[in-house]
Structure 1
Amino acid sequence: MKTNRLLAALLLAAGLLQLQAAHAVSAAVAKPLKEASDLVRAGKAKEALAKLNGVTGSGPDDNYMLARIRGAAYQRMGDNGAAAQQLEAAFATGKVPSGEAGQLAETIAGIYAQQHNNAKAMQWVEKAKADGDNSAGVRQIQDYVQGSSGDYGQIARDNAAKVQAAVSGGRRPEEDDLLRLADAYRHTGNKVGDLQVKEQLVTYYPTNKQYAGIYLSDLPGKPGFSSRFSLDLLRLRLASGNLTSADDYLEMAQLLLQAQLPAEAKMVVDKGYAAGVLGTGAQAARQQRLRDLVNKTAADNAATLAKRAADAKAGKTGDDLVAIGAEYASMGKYDEGIELIQQGIAKDSLKRPEDAKLRLGVAMLQSGKGKAAAVKQLRTVQGTDGAVDVARAYIALGAGQ
Structure 2
Amino acid sequence: MQARAARIAAALALAAVAGFAQAQALRPEVGKPLQAAEAMIKAGKYREALAKVRELDGVGGKTSAETVVIERMRLAAASGAGDADTAARSFEALSGGMSSADKLRSIESIAGSYYRNKEYAKAQQWYARYFKEGGTSAANRTLMIQTQYLAGDFAGAARELTAEIQATEKAGGTPQEARLTLLLNAAQRLNDPNVTAYAMERLVVHYPKKEYWADLLSRLQRKPSFSDRFALDVYRLSLATGVMNKASDYMEMAQLAVQAGFPAEGRQVVDKGYAAGVLGTGPEAERHKRLRDLIAKRVDEDKAAQPAAEAEAAKAKDGNALVTVGFNQVVSGQGAKGVATMQQGIAKGGLKRPEDAKLHLGIAQMIAGDAAKAQATLRTVGGNDGAADLARLWALQARKR
Correspondence 1:299 to 2:300? yes
Do residues 39 (structure 1) and 46 (structure 2) align? no
Question: Counterparts in 2 of 1:102-113, with a 5 A limit?
Answer: 102-113=104-115
What CA RMSD, in Å, does the superposition of the two structures yield over aligned residues?
3.5
Q: Helix, strand or coil: the match of 1:385?
A: coil
Code of the aligned partner of 1:107: S
Counterpart of 2:347 in structure 1 is 346
8 A Cα contact 1:366 1:399, kept in partner: no
Deviation at 1:306, TM superposition (A): 3.4
Partner of 1:10: 8
Distance 1:135 1:338, change over 3 A: same
- For 1:62, the equivalent position in structure 2 comes to 69
Whole-angstrom CA distance in 2 between matches of 1:189 and 1:196: 13
Structure 2 gap ranges (5+): 25-30
- Say whether residues 1:150 and 2:164 are aligned partners: no
Partner of 1:236: 237
Q: For the Cα contact (< 8 Å) 2:128–2:144, is it kept in 1?
A: no
Q: How does 1:312-323 map to 2 (within 5 A)?
A: 312-323=313-324
Q: State how far apart, in whole Å, the 2-side matches of 1:66 and 1:159 are.
A: 37
1:67 and 1:87 in contact (8 A); partners too: no
Cα distance between partner residues in 1 of 2:51 and 2:352: 86
Q: Cα–Cα, structure 1 residues 296 and 99, in superposed 2: closer, same or farther, change >3 Å?
A: farther
Q: Distance in 2 between matches of 1:236 and 1:209?
A: 12
Match of 1:255 in 2: 256
Distance apart, 1:142 and its partner CA: 3.8
**Offset at 1:325?**
0.7
Find out whether 1:382 has 2:389 as its counterpart. no
**CA 1:253–1:102: 2 relative to 1, 3 Å:** farther
Mapping of 1:150-229 within 5 angstroms? 150-163=152-165, 175-203=177-205, 205-229=206-230
Q: Please say if residues 146 and 154 of structure 1, whose CA atoms lie closer than 8 Å, have aligned partners that are also in contact.
A: yes
The amino acid of 2:113's aligned partner reads I
Match of 1:99 in 2: 101
Sort the Cα spacing of 1:108 and 1:388 in 2 relative to 1 into closer, same or farther, 3 A.
same
Q: Which amino acid aligns with 1:321?
A: L
Whether the aligned pair in 2 keeps the contact of 1:37 and 1:48 (CA below 8 Å) is yes
Gaps of 5+ in 1: 76-81
Maintained 8 Å contact 1:321/1:340: yes
Give distance in 2, aligned partners of 1:35 and 1:137: 31
Alpha carbons of structure 1 residues 99 and 290: separation in structure 2 relative to 1, 3 Å: farther
The answer (yes or no) to whether the contact 1:262–1:297 under 8 Å persists in 2 is yes
More moved, 304-313 vs 390-399: 304-313
Determine whether 1:74 maps to 2:76: no
Return closer, same or farther for 1:239/1:118 CA change in 2, 3 Å cut-off: same
Which of 376-385 and 101-110 deviates more? 101-110
Q: Quick one: which amino acid aligns to residue 152 of structure 1? A: F
Q: Does 1:359 align with 2:366?
A: no
Contact 2:84 2:114 in 1 (8 A): no
Assess if the C-alpha contact under 8 Å between 1:33 and 1:52 holds in 2: yes
Report the alpha carbon displacement of residue 122 of structure 1 after superposing the two structures with TM: 3.4
Is the contact between residue 279 and residue 288 of structure 1 (CA under 8 Å) also seen in structure 2? yes
Q: Provide the identity percentage.
A: 36
| Matching residue of 1:373 | 373
Q: 1: CA distance between counterparts of 2:383 and 2:79?
A: 61
Shift of 1:53: 7.6
> TM-score w.r.t. structure 1 length?
0.81
Task: Summarize the Cα distance change of 1:167–1:292 in structure 2 as closer, same or farther, 3 Å threshold.
Answer: same
Shift of 1:116: 5.1
The range that moved more, 235-244 or 190-199, is: 190-199
Q: Structure 1 residues 17 and 181 mapped into 2: Cα distance closer, same or farther (>3 Å)?
A: closer
Q: Which residue does 1:79 correspond to in 2?
A: none
Q: Which amino acid aligns with 1:106?
A: E
| 1:323 Cα deviation after fit | 0.8
Aligned residues: 387
TM-score after normalising by structure 2:
0.81
Whether contact under 8 Å (1:394, 1:400) holds in the other structure is no
State the SS of the aligned residue for 1:129.
Answer: helix
The superposition leaves residues 57-105 of structure 1 with CA deviations (integer Å, 9 ceiling, x where unpaired) of 9557734652344124423xxxxxx354135414632355423533432
Q: Which residue of 1 aligns with 2:332?
A: 331
Equivalent-residue separation in structure 1 for 2:50 and 2:194 (angstroms) = 56
Q: 1:49/1:123 Cα in 2 relative to 1: closer, same or farther (>3 Å)?
A: closer
Residues 358 and 8 (structure 1 numbering): CA distance in 2 closer, same or farther, change over 3 Å?
same
Distance (Å, rounded) in 1 between the aligned partners of 2:142 and 2:103: 18
Aligned-residue offset at 1:14:
5.9
Deviation at 1:182, TM superposition (A): 3.5
Q: Is the 8 A contact 2:262 2:328 kept in 1?
A: yes
- Note the C-alpha offset of 1:336: 0.7
1:121 and 2:112 aligned? no
